[in-house]
Chain A
């Protein structure tokens, strides 16, 4: 079954070749007349103050951490969803209850985050 993935590797390789070609094409075809103003960082015409590699709002981290938790849970739901239809009735009821518990745990986590104000932007 793994040979089904060969076309995927080929298409990724071709896309990468296309990207590499295009990234380098402009520096070959275009003019190259750098000067100090042109190469400075854009900041609405002002002299750039400091660097952008600085601290930024914690809220982005919070979103990223919540995302990791929920995304893993979403991925765990996929195999459950694929096999759900193919179960006979008694197993299906069992499977549904299991899925329900899983989703309730997920929802409780979401409500907890909501109440804690993690998802609040102002």
Chain B
């Protein structure tokens, strides 16, 4: 077989594995969220389908697939169908640049555990994040319902506001590691040089902005049930509705993966390479380390959702523009100054 064909097949295999894991993880994050929220509110949660309710996600998917697909007659049919598509494409494609392990040797080949190793990794993530706004805004506009429109507008204003502080907080990490490539950023965090220790302020800003970007409580104004019914997905049903949910939970997982990569050392377990374990064991342990970090962050997302009440909209915008943005700017300057003084 020619070399490029093998490379292509490896790429397809990596995408299949990553998408398979991601979609399964999404299904079980929904389950986890329902169980954890039940636990926090002193309820039981879904426990009937399968042992401990473990088959619940499967039942949900089948139910949603078999539901009637309702498109309101005053909606714009094409955009109404396009919007959930944009959301899910963005959520599933962002994972491409996230490294989930070191280079691994399989069947005599060096395989990088990262789908696409491009030198503008961080920019790619931000580009797709910006596209994600379109899915929600267009769904709000196309439904031609007042609740949807308000939800979509709020959401787009909120997401673009927090994208600024997010983009600025990452610059601190870029200054320290001198690259936009995510695997280089992970290598730069060898041992205990995790960016959370070097960039604590940037980490907090990035974390808060991630909550806002994924429309999670305490920033879930776009779907504030008490005011807007369902927000931007009020007029959606069946699998189109499910795609928004899939996209939301996929965004949580991808955000957690990005946070883990940028600030928590990615797949690095401190000094694991020096233990002298066989290479394959080291690689597997690194992938496990990465998974544990991601799951811990996903749990943190859920935990926050069921602990903190919702912001008011003016408080939300004030926080984004008058608190987070100046702090992110100051953080960036201080980082540059410290790098300069330590030179």
Contacts and interface: CB of A to CB of B under 8 A. Distances in A.
Interface of A: 1, 4-8, 10-12, 14-16, 18-20, 22-23, 25-27, 29-34, 38-44, 48, 51-53, 56-57, 59-60, 63-64, 66-67, 70-71, 74-75, 77-78, 81-86, 89, 92-93, 96, 99-100, 103, 106-107, 110, 114, 119-122
Given A59-B157, A75-B167, A82-B179, 17 more contacts: A5-B118, A7-B115, A26-B238, A27-B69, A33-B68, A38-B70, A41-B145, A48-B74, A52-B143, A52-B149, A64-B157, A67-B161, A81-B171, A82-B174, A92-B339, A96-B337, A110-B321
A38 to B, nearest CB: 6
Contacts of A52: 141, 143-146, 148-149
Contacts of A86: 178
Contacts, number: 222
7 contacts: A26-B64, A26-B240, A33-B68, A34-B70, A53-B144, A83-B178, A110-B326
Contacts of A57: 153
Q: Which of B149, B164, B180 has the largest count of A CB atoms less than 10 A from its CB? A: B164
Given A30-B69, A67-B164, A11 B96 contact: yes
Contacts of A10: 11-12, 15
A45 to B, nearest CB: 11
A43 B230 CA distance: 12
B73 A39 contact: yes
B116 A7 contact: yes
Interface residues on B, range: 35 or more
A82 B242 CA distance: 40
Contacts of B147: 42-43
B178 A82 contact: yes
Contacts of B326: 107, 110
B168 A74 contact: yes
Interface in B116-168: 116-119, 122-124, 141, 143-149, 153, 156-157, 160-161, 163-164, 167-168
